[in-house]
Amino acid sequence: VMFTRQEAEGKRLRNPFDTITEGIGINRETSNFKLAQIDSAFQGTDREAVEMAAYLMRNDGLFVGSSAAMNCVGAVKLARSLGPGKVVVTILCDGGQRHLSKFQNPDYLQNHSLAAQHQGQQLDFVM
């Protein structure tokens, strides 16, 4: 997850309500980010993260949180842009246990029109 100028400190609410993926990203530019040479970045949606978490549980038995799900969404987007024959690695940086009240709560997701809909082994929910 990378800093973006659009998300810079003072440009967004302290506790934004436009996403259920809490704690992803950073709203200030740190020294290590200033040194990084970034080629590009991908954005993901709540829908993609929720669908990815459900996909990982259904197909791989992995119970992940929103950050890990979003990392996998980014990995799929990168893999598609690189094409066949490449290896993409990501980190599953959080488990789903700490996300039981929102991101991993079926009732909460349903109330926000985000209940997982896709089934099977296809990743067509990643745009």
Give Cβ neighbours of residue 9 (< 8 Å, ≥ 6 apart).
27, 28
pTM for the model stands at: 0.80
Banded pLDDT at 100 (limits 50, 70, 90): very high
Q: Distance of alpha carbon 97 from its chain centroid, rounded?
A: 16
Q: pLDDT tens, 8-31?
A: 555 555 555 567 766 666 667 778
Question: Taking residues 42-51, what's their average pLDDT?
Answer: 92
Q: pLDDT tens, 103-115?
A: 999 999 999 999 9
Q: From CA 70, how far away is CA 55, in angstroms rounded?
A: 12
**Under DSSP, is residue 64 helix (H, G, I), strand (E, B) or coil?**
strand
Check: CB of residue 90 under 8 Å from CB of residue 106: no
Cβ count near 8 (within 10 Å): 13
Residue 22: per-residue pLDDT: 63
